[in-house]
């Protein structure tokens, strides 16, 4: 987000994501403009599109909506509801993508079109959570925890620990899949089967950039097989898996310990207690949102790219309105 200029803020994905396709910019700008509706159920648009990749937001609108977000995120019941709704949007997206995948595989064009339309509509709602990267009231949370825990440093440690996702982050999750596949090969599973599984479940995540215009390396099962062959032969996937699991258990325990500390410290002051519960849920929601959004974004972009190939469209020119028009999503 650029600083205020003439009473206006600018969100410039053209600069922050210069290699993006039109669809990628569209996903960001459309979901940005819609975040008040998706997250707060407030119909006010967050700004207007200047051109693909750039959104201008009037400062009064920004200030009002950010204040509304802060208030919203201080209510534990509303935050839990938000987390539930976000999870539902993710499930709807994943379900539509699975159906589109199946339809593409079956060469059922009509079903693929319809599922991609629905998937686009659902995924735009998932994408609205990307505002957690710069609109969360982190300073206010740290101030509150500083008061509760009587220490700025402990407040920061607590805030950071609370921003641990409930489900394993996508980087470790992808690596765990790889290690499990390598271990399964050592146990006799056929390499091709393990490679196909890794390719389908995590192939879009490996490599630089995004799968919007070109496939990521491990989308190719043969490349995944090469990697698994090396990994199963040279590494000790079982002990690495054990180490990974131990680390994840430990980070969850650290998170829970800090949450308990903050709740114990706030105990006896109902307002602070509610605010601590709310921010604890909100931080986990934000971390989960980021991790799950990345997995879904890559799956979605890969699927749309392959759909474009099947339908003889240019994957670098397709837009969200094009895709929403395919289904009931518009």
Using CA atoms, how far apart are residues 287 and 133, in angstroms rounded to an integer?
10
Question: CB 43 → another protein: shortest distance, Å?
Answer: 26
Q: Judged by CB under 8 A, which of 126, 132, 301, 303 binds another protein?
A: 132
Binding of residue 245 to another protein (CB under 8 A): no
Of the candidate spans 67-75, 85-93, 115-123, 171-179, the one that interacts with another protein by CB under 8 A turns out to be 171-179
Q: Judged by CB under 8 A, which of 102, 230, 243, 309 binds another protein?
A: 243
> Element (H or E) spanning 51, and its range?
strand 48-51
Of the candidate spans 38-46, 67-75, 99-107, 282-290, the one that interacts with another protein by CB under 8 A turns out to be 282-290
Binding of residue 323 to another protein (CB under 8 A): no
Of residues 47-76, which lie at the interface with another protein (CB under 8 A)? Answer: 50, 54, 56, 76
Q: Which is nearer to another protein, 69 or 286 (CB)?
A: 286
Using CA atoms, how far apart are residues 289 and 231, in angstroms rounded to an integer?
30
DSSP one-letter code for 40: I
Pairing of strands 48-51, 8-12: unpaired
The contact mask relative to another protein for 84-103 (x = CB under 8 A, - = no) is --------------------
Question: CB 205 → another protein: shortest distance, Å?
Answer: 5
The distance of Cα 12 from the centroid of its chain, to the nearest Å, equals 19
Backbone angles phi, psi at 319, to 5 degrees: -125, 170
Spatial contact of 114 and 314, defined as CB atoms under 8 Å apart: no
Tokens of 274: 């509610």
Binding of residue 267 to another protein (CB under 8 A): yes
- Give Cβ neighbours of residue 95 (< 8 Å, ≥ 6 apart): none
Of the candidate spans 59-67, 92-100, 184-192, 284-292, the one that interacts with another protein by CB under 8 A turns out to be 284-292
Binding of residue 44 to another protein (CB under 8 A): no
Using CA atoms, how far apart are residues 51 and 42, in angstroms rounded to an integer?
24
Of the candidate spans 33-41, 107-115, 254-262, 304-312, the one that interacts with another protein by CB under 8 A turns out to be 254-262
Q: Which is nearer to another protein, 215 or 248 (CB)?
A: 248
Q: Which is nearer to another protein, 110 or 153 (CB)?
A: 153
Binding of residue 207 to another protein (CB under 8 A): yes
Closest by Cα among 121, 138, 126 to 289: 126
Using CA atoms, how far apart are residues 52 and 325, in angstroms rounded to an integer?
18
- Give Cβ neighbours of residue 24 (< 8 Å, ≥ 6 apart): 13, 17, 210, 212, 301
The distance of Cα 330 from the centroid of its chain, to the nearest Å, equals 22
Of the candidate spans 66-74, 99-107, 110-118, 249-257, the one that interacts with another protein by CB under 8 A turns out to be 249-257
Binding of residue 78 to another protein (CB under 8 A): no
Strand partners, 2: 10
Question: CB 223 → another protein: shortest distance, Å?
Answer: 12
Q: Which is nearer to another protein, 103 or 182 (CB)?
A: 182
Q: Judged by CB under 8 A, which of 273, 279, 303, 318 binds another protein?
A: 273
Q: Judged by CB under 8 A, which of 104, 112, 122, 286 binds another protein?
A: 286
DSSP of 207-218 = SSS-TTTS--GG
């Amino acid at each position: 987000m650029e600083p205020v200029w003439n009473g206006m803020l600018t969100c410039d994905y053209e600069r922050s994501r210069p290699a993006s396709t039109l669809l990628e910019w569209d996903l960001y700008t459309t979901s940005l403009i819609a975040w008040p509706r998706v997250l707060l159920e407030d119909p006010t648009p967050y700004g207007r599109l200047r051109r693909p990749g750039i959104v201008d937001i009037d400062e009064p609108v920004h200030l009002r909506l950010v204040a509304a977000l802060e208030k919203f995120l201080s209510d534990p019941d509303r935050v839990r509801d938000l987390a539930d709704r976000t999870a539902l949007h993710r499930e709807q997206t994943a379900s539509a993508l699975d159906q589109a995948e199946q339809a593409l595989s079956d060469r059922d064009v009509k079903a693929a079109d319809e599922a991609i339309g629905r998937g686009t509509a659902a995924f735009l709602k998932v994408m609205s959570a990307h505002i957690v990267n710069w609109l969360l009231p982190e300073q206010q949370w740290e101030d509150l925890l500083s008061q509760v825990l009587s220490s700025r440093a402990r407040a920061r440690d607590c805030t950071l620990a609370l921003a641990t996702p409930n489900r394993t982050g996508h980087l470790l999750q992808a690596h765990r899949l790889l290690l499990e596949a390598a271990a399964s090969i050592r146990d006799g599973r056929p390499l091709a089967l393990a490679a196909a599984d890794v390719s389908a479940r995590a192939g879009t995540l490996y490599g630089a950039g995004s799968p919007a215009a070109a496939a990521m390396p491990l989308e190719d099962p043969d490349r995944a097989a090469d990697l698994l062959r090396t990994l199963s032969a040279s590494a000790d996937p079982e002990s690495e898996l054990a180490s990974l699991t131990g680390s994840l258990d430990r980070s969850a325990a650290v998170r829970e310990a800090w949450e308990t500390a903050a709740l114990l410290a706030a105990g006896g002051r109902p307002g602070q207690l509610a605010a601590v519960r709310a921010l604890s849920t909100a931080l986990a929601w934000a971390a989960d949102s980021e991790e799950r959004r990345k997995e879904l974004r890559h799956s979605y972009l890969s699927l749309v790219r392959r759909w474009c190939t099947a339908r003889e469209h240019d994957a670098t020119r397709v837009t969200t309105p094009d895709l929403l028009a395919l289904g009931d999503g518009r």
